[in-house]
Structure 1
Amino acid sequence: MAEKHLLVDIGNSAIKYCLESELQNERVSILNHGDGDFFKKLAGLHDATPLTALSLSSVYKADFSQQIKNWCNKHQVRFYQATSQSQSGDLKNGYTVAQRLGIDRWLAMIAVREQTKSPFFVVSCGTAVTFDAVDSSGQHLGGAIMPGLVLMQSSLSEKTIALQVEHDLIASENKLALDTTTAIANGTMMAITGFIEKMADITNMEMKQGILTGGYASPVAIVMGCDIKVSPNLVMKGLAMSSREKSVT
């Protein structure tokens, strides 16, 4: 029987999943937390043609990961959950305790390192914004974390009286605003673009050495207006590589 390997990336806000065979075409499904029953989606995928393996990356609740593992055991599906390691190939984790590095950050670096032996930085633009830099030898130099667009905007609404606006405002350009909603959209976006530019400066890298990933990667790249690249599913690609390294498939 042909392998049917499902990749699952659970973030703070949503679940992304796709068959490994469809990853090259970026055919990734997204289910926001609270928008539906993920196990019904799993059952539908399994009933059509049985899954043979499921690989998981999660920064979400541990009990939810356990529920997925239990489902796999019940349905005789091989289960693998990725964890950050001290090394993968020639990529070396910069954290003293490797497992404390977020698995999403680690997998994104694995995916980029597979593509280049030059220095690079990767920025994940999601609920949080993370920056990680890697040198030409594959050494992880470290990183930085800041709140994402929605977190910044919701914080303004929660902590102020006058700034009660939507929490998913996306700016399309850098400019001064003539209304409050646009001012918040532009200000929070420029906080992210400024963060990226400053971190690139600290690590002595050019924008063309950077890759943006995550749900807000494309709008951030548009506002930055430079040579920075976008690859929205780096975590999924790194997860596929990690699972092959562990002989899951």
Structure 2
Amino acid sequence: MSDWAFDLGNTRLKLAPLRHGSAGEVAAFPHGEHVLGAGWMAALPPRIDVAWVASVGPAALRAALLQVLVPRAARVVEVRVAREMGGVRIGYDDPARLGVDRALAMIGARAQVAGGVLVVGVGTALTIDLVDAEGVHLGGCIAPSPTLMREALHARASQLPLEGGALVQFGTGTEDALAAGCAGAALGLVERSRDAAARLAGAPPAIVVHGGGAGMLLAALPGALHRPSLVMDGLARLSRQPAGAG
């Protein structure tokens, strides 16, 4: 048997074995609003020691996931956000209101980067969190991701395409203009946050980017670190510190 990590997000379920305190190969399975995607159970062993679960997905999907894991695992740990967890002190007035995926991403980044770090998640939402060199979370911001911006525009004006275009400064066609505007808005927020963090701390923080939409921003963020499995990395770190999970 072995320990496994499960990250149930808004659009995908990700899972990975935990070996020697690190996440192994991550498998991702898209899901619908009410039904988990096919194939994910086949990726699991017959028995699991500890299932570490982080969920920001719909309640019905969380229940479906637990329905499979509870009989299969000797123990299931649902990670909850606490004031102190995995070497990070959460800065929210009410830590329980912070998404567990954001908390775990900060824990994963903190374990890999010395000094201050700006943790950028690009999924359904664009999230940015600042953690200082002592591991104190100084807060963050949430905005629509570039993908969500385009979906919203398409929903209101169907002639605007959902996809396509190159990330340029000024588009000479609709697709390029959309890509430039939506990705540019996200990049502007990241750059503004980086500059504000540098003024606050006296030095620019490292930028760590994760999430399914990270690729569209990375080329425009020189020096940024791409850590696609950052939430899993945070779960792996917590698995070595069981008292840090609720």
TM-score (normalised: structure 2)? 0.87
Query: Following superposition of structure 1 onto structure 2, how do residues 177-216 of structure 1 map, counting pairs within 5 Å?
Result: 177-204=171-198, 209-216=206-213
Residue aligning to 2:9:
11
Match of 1:73 among 70, 73, 77: 70
> 1:109 aligned to 2:111?
no
Give percent identity, aligned residues only: 28
How far did 1:180 drift? 0.6
Match of 2:79 among 79, 82, 100: 82
Residue aligning to 2:25:
27
Q: Distance in 1 between matches of 2:24 and 2:17?
A: 10
> 1:135 aligned to 2:132?
yes
Of 118-127 and 59-68, the range deviating more from structure 2: 59-68
How far did 1:16 drift? 1.3
Of 122-131 and 173-182, the range deviating more from structure 2: 173-182
Q: Distance in 2 between matches of 1:23 and 1:176?
A: 46
Unaligned 5+ segments in structure 1 are none
Residue aligning to 1:228:
224
| Alpha-carbon distance change, 32 to 242 in structure 1, aligned in 2, over 3 angstroms | same
Q: Distance in 2 between matches of 1:128 and 1:23?
A: 29
3-state SS, counterpart of residue 199 of structure 1: helix
Per-residue Cα deviation, 1:91-112 (whole angstroms, up to 9, x for no partner): 2110111110111110011111
User: Residue type of the partner of 1:240?
Assistant: A
Relative to total residues, which structure has the larger helix share, 1 or 2?
1
CA contact (8 A) 2:23 2:233 kept: no
Match of 1:176 among 170, 178, 197: 170
3-state SS, counterpart of residue 25 of structure 2: coil
How far did 1:244 drift? 2.5
Match of 1:154 among 151, 159, 167: 151
CA contact (8 A) 1:92 1:138 kept: yes
CA contact (8 A) 2:146 2:182 kept: yes
How far did 1:117 drift? 4.0
Q: Distance in 1 between matches of 2:193 and 2:206?
A: 12
Per-residue Cα deviation, 1:31-84 (whole angstroms, up to 9, x for no partner): 11139855752255234xx22221111111123222322322223442111111
Of 63-72 and 35-44, the range deviating more from structure 2: 35-44
Of 152-161 and 38-47, the range deviating more from structure 2: 38-47
Residue aligning to 2:117:
120
User: Residue type of the partner of 1:244?
Assistant: R
> 1:100 aligned to 2:97?
yes
How far did 1:183 drift? 1.0
| Alpha-carbon distance change, 135 to 25 in structure 1, aligned in 2, over 3 angstroms | closer
